[in-house]
Structure 1
Amino acid sequence: MGTGKFHIARYVIDEATGAYVADGAVRSLEDDFGFCRYKSITGINAIGKQKGVYTESYPESDSLRVYVDPSARQEATSSTLSVCVFGSDPSLPSTLSTEELVKAAEDSWHELVGFLRGGLILWTDDYRQRKALFVLQDAIEPTTDRIKGLPYLDCQVKLQNIFGETFESADETIENWLKLGGKGT
C-alpha cells in the first residue's frame, strides 16, 4: 500500500468465477488522486440495525418472547466521505491561474469518482485500524471554495456500508465474502 493513511481498492465481479476480484492496485486517497485531501467520513462507526431478531408480546405476559438468529447481521448503513481537492500542492505556492487550478482539481475529482464508480470499494483506514466495504450511493456535486486564496473543490461522496459495520484491519470477513461472490461468509 502507499504511504497514505486511507486506502481504497475497487472490486468487480468476475463473470467466469462469480467472485469479486480486485480491479487494479490498492490506491491511496491522498497520494494517488492529484491533491485530494481527506476531510472526514461520517457514519464510519455506525452499526446497522441487527437483522434476524424476532420478538412477540402477549397480553398475559410481562416480558417479550425473543429469538435472535445466531448468525445475525446488520442492515447497511450510510457514510459520507468529505474531501477537499486542490489543483496543486496546497502547502506550496502555485504559479497556475485560478482557472488552471480549478481545472486541475476537477480532473483529480473526476479521476477519484471514476475509481469509486462501477464496483465495490474496500476502504482501509490506518488511523482507526478499521476497514469497510462500500458502494457509491448517491449523485454527488462538488462545490468550489477558497482557503487562504487557493481555490479547491469541497466534495461529499455518499457511500453505503454493505455490512453495516466496520471490521478490524486484520479481519478477513470482507475478503472472504468477496471471494464467495457476495454469497456469504
Structure 2
Amino acid sequence: MSESSLPGGFINHVVRVGATVRRPASASTEFIGDLLTMFEASGWPGAPRYHGIDEEGREILTYLKGHVAWEPQQPPDVYSDESLLRVTQLVREFHDLTAGTELAGSHEVVCHNDLSPKNTIYRPVSGVLRPVAFIDWDLAAPGARIHDVAHVCWQYLELGPSVEDVSEAATVEVDR
C-alpha cells in the first residue's frame, strides 16, 4: 500500500497507510498501546485504536477521519463554546476511565499531556464541527487531572504564555 505523509505534527515520518497511521515507536509505545487497548475494551470512541507494530517497527493506529485544527486559520466551530464543552466532556470521560487503573498507578488518572485543537479530531455533528476524539497520545502518562485541565485552558482558550514555540514557552519568565 502507498504511504502519504500526514501534516501538522512535530514527529517526522508519520504517515497514513490505508485506514491506518504509522508512526515511529518510542519508549512509551507499550504504555500507549495498553492505554488505547483499554479505551477500545471500554468502548470509548475518543481515541484511535492500537494495532501493534508493523514490519518497519512503527506503531499502527487507526486513522480517524475528520478535521484536525493544525493550521492557524480555523472554522469558528473549532473555538466555539459548544466545542470547548465537548472537549471537557471527552477529557472527563478518559480521565474517569483511567482513574484507579494499573495504568494510572499511584496517580489520579492517565493524562494526555498534549491536549490542543491540533490533537483533536472534529467532525460534523448536527451540521457543525465538534470534537469527537483526541490523537497523539505519545506524551500520555500517569498524573493529576488538573494537568490536562490546565493544558486545555492554555491551548483551547489561550490562557497561557503567548508563544508559538514550545521550547520558547519553557523559558518564558513569569513576574511574581
Q: TM-score, normalised by structure 2?
A: 0.27
* Higher RCO, Cα 8 Å, sep 6+: 1
Q: Greater Rg, structure 1 or structure 2?
A: 1
Between Structure 1 and Structure 2, which shows a larger proportion of strand residues? Answer: 1
Q: TM-score, normalised by structure 1?
A: 0.26
